[in-house]
Structure 1
Amino acid sequence: MEVAEQEACQGYASQDILSSPLTIDPSLPLPHIKHHVVDLCKDMFKEWSNLDDSCFLVERISGGITNLLLKVSVKEENRVDVSIAIRLFGLNTDNIIDRQRELQAIKYISAAGFGAKWLGVFGNGMVQSFINAYTLTPSDMREPKQAAKIAKQLQRFHQLEIPGSKEPQLWNEIIKFFEQASVLGFDDIKKQKTYETISFAEVHDEIVELKELTERLNSPVVYAHNDLLSGNVMINNEQDKVYLIDYEYASYNYRGYDIGNHFAEYAGFDCDYTFYPNRNEQYHFFRHYLQPERPNEVCYHLPW
């Protein structure tokens, strides 16, 4: 990261961010959510506090396991329409996502020009600028042109310097998930019987073995996205710009893990691993990652 960029990040991160104590239940139907969203907007943005509710248009953009994303368009008389994005954290997601770590990091990530501009926080979510772009599908992500763009952006992302521990978080997260998974219980008898067939002792031993194996690789530790699936990549074709979004799982981690996890996402939610990138597709990605401006100059010293 260049010195000027670091200073810009530090300056932005020290600025006051808008905040509100209000919360919004993400499980409510959209018509009911809208009323709460309008109240939130008026509370956070004082210039909107006296607007009529009819000036606000609330639309659902996407919704996943961990959050619900809404677009809010505000129309004022004789003014250009303004749009913002409101992300509601999913219920009980604090059990699997370190929200404090996410909010700490997003200040710096946003200031470095990744994703949307961070505008504020509220009781169970955050407010950002709206990105005029579309999310990719797994098949989009596999296209050579798009893969090259993603590789270039990921290389930039891996150069971020975020305050805090630089210990790779992969194994800490796996152990946390393992501990939570090993004490579950289900009211559904069939599910409970299936759950009881899992040998968590064997799973634990495999985790330990894999950790020992990966430690031999000496993979560089970088600030990693850790969830680079197609839905977290947005493209604006008019500006020829790629956005890497959603940093809920971002942390310092092994570079090889972040790239390998991204390749696994070529399989999509159907987990069709016949789409996992072959050697040539991987090399195409690596060339644009290692030398974004001169990818054809990258040479490989292969053992075969």
Structure 2
Amino acid sequence: MGSRTESENEREIWKAMEVAEGARGDNSSSHVLQSSSLTLDTSLSLPDLTPPLIELCKDLFKKWSRLDDSSFSVETVSGGITNLLLKVSVKEEDGNEVPVTVRLYGPNTDYVINRERELQAIKYLSAAGFGAKLLGVFQNGMVQSFINARTLIPQDMRVPKLAAEIAKQLHKFHRVDIPGSKEPQLWNDIFKFYENASILHFDDIEKRKKYETISFKEVYNEVVEIKELTDLLNAPVVFAHNDLLSGNLMLNDDEEKLYIIDFEYGSYSYRGYDIGNHFNEYAGYDCDYSLYPSKDEQYHFFRHYLQPDKPHQVSDKDLEALYVETNTYMLVSHLFWALWALIQAKMSPIDFDYLGYFFLRYNEFKRQKEQACSLARSYLSGRESR
């Protein structure tokens, strides 16, 4: 799907939702979503990107259209391996300074991210108090309210007080009702990734040699085996974040307020997958999986997730069930991001060793598989005998 068509579809979704809300008197969003047909070139340096970014802001928000360009200042918030985040500070006519965040989608990310699904969910998540408020959309990005907080680093997530707060927030996140199908999308996404990842061709000789060492028959069999095992767990289906790494958690230290942000991979999925994926992110950007949380650390998280108000009243039975569920779906997280990395290796212009990342995640999956699967089978066998 072309980026222009994608953006037009996004705007149609918003128009339809706003009409529906007007019909039923839903005032969960008091602002009208602004849209622009402009596209920003993500390859530009910040000085070269600033003039078109100012033009975009003026096009989206009419109250800024008469302001002099000197009223706008732009700075980089972060540049990850998927998106570029920019802070635009605008000095309005009354002298007030208003900050907004502009998120530029990485090139070709529509191969791995369903933007329509993201935009459908973001309004309801925002109304429930998650993330920043969505103010506008344009061809290859969105503008959101600015969150005055710092982005967490991997080490923060294992601090007991913060781990408890993340668990509480995730409990609330999983209770948000997103209209539409509640069918879990996890395996649909994984099989789609597999199909796309298994037919790639690399012009670069070194990349091609690495790619050709992958046995896709083996990968497929692993996916099918783990799907069959996790299906037996009957894990609750929730609207999951699916990418709860440190970079998608922000903290205002003064107010001690935690924010869950960026819902690009959000979908209805399995509770244990979202938590297992989060635990994998304790490894940080260096992928040091020796940092994966211990059983005690996991139980601390589970108590605050299952009963935020009475964490010490969670039963041993419930803790064990979530432990097994999480540590089986942890394997699925490795498969998801391994296949994702192969597609990115072909499609993304970003200078990152995505092929190497595939092997990091897939090898960790194989290393953890026997122990995690044995735990699940033992639990299932015990459950049947009871």
TM-score range, shorter chain: over 0.9
CA shift in 2, pair 1:112/1:9, >3 Å? farther
- Given that 1:10 and 1:108 are in contact with CA atoms closer than 8 Å, whether structure 2 keeps it comes out as no
Q: Does 1:135 align with 2:146?
A: no
- Given that 1:13 and 1:108 are in contact with CA atoms closer than 8 Å, whether structure 2 keeps it comes out as no
Structure 2 counterpart SS, 1:69: strand
Query: What is aligned with 1:32?
Result: 48
Q: Does 1:257 align with 2:280?
A: no
CA distance in 2, matches of 1:176, 1:18: 32
Percent of matched pairs sharing the same residue = 65
**Relative to structure 2, which stretch is displaced further, 198-207 or 252-261?**
198-207
- Given that 2:202 and 2:208 are in contact with CA atoms closer than 8 Å, whether structure 1 keeps it comes out as yes
Normalization by structure 2: what TM-score? Answer: 0.74
Q: Does 1:242 align with 2:258?
A: yes
CA distance in 1, matches of 2:196, 2:255: 44
Out of 223, 232, 244, the residue aligned to residue 207 of structure 1 is 223
Q: What is the 5 A alignment of 1:109-148?
A: 109-148=125-164
**Relative to structure 2, which stretch is displaced further, 131-140 or 288-297?**
288-297
CA distance in 1, matches of 2:210, 2:138: 40
Structure 1 counterpart SS, 2:316: coil
- Given that 2:236 and 2:270 are in contact with CA atoms closer than 8 Å, whether structure 1 keeps it comes out as yes
CA distance in 2, matches of 1:288, 1:243: 17
Structure 2 counterpart SS, 1:12: coil
Query: What is aligned with 2:88?
Result: 72
Following superposition, the deviation at residue 263 of structure 1 comes to 0.5
Q: Deviations over 1:11-39 (max 9, x none)?
A: 33696311111110111111111111100
Query: What is aligned with 1:232?
Result: 248
Q: What is the 5 A alignment of 1:140-159?
A: 140-159=156-175
CA shift in 2, pair 1:97/1:10, >3 Å? farther
Structure 2 counterpart SS, 1:11: coil
Letter in 2 for 1:103: L
- Given that 1:9 and 1:112 are in contact with CA atoms closer than 8 Å, whether structure 2 keeps it comes out as no
- Given that 2:248 and 2:262 are in contact with CA atoms closer than 8 Å, whether structure 1 keeps it comes out as yes
Structure 1 counterpart SS, 2:66: coil
Query: What is aligned with 1:220?
Result: 236
> Size of the alignment, in residue pairs?
299
Q: CA RMSD in A?
A: 2.0
Q: Does 1:300 align with 2:312?
A: no
Letter in 2 for 1:190: E
Following superposition, the deviation at residue 78 of structure 1 comes to 4.2
Letter in 2 for 1:99: R
Q: Which sections of structure 1, spanning at least 5 residues, go unmatched?
A: 1-5
Q: Deviations over 1:95-136 (max 9, x none)?
A: 110001111111111111101111111111111100000010
- Given that 1:234 and 1:244 are in contact with CA atoms closer than 8 Å, whether structure 2 keeps it comes out as yes
Q: Deviations over 1:206-248 (max 9, x none)?
A: 1111111110000000000000000000001222211100000
Query: What is aligned with 1:3?
Result: none
Following superposition, the deviation at residue 299 of structure 1 comes to 2.7
Normalization by structure 1: what TM-score? Answer: 0.94
Q: What is the 5 A alignment of 1:178-189?
A: 178-189=194-205
Structure 1 counterpart SS, 2:87: strand
Q: Does 1:172 align with 2:188?
A: yes
Following superposition, the deviation at residue 190 of structure 1 comes to 2.1
Structure 1 counterpart SS, 2:27: helix
- Given that 2:67 and 2:93 are in contact with CA atoms closer than 8 Å, whether structure 1 keeps it comes out as no
**Relative to structure 2, which stretch is displaced further, 182-191 or 89-98?**
182-191
Letter in 1 for 2:308: P
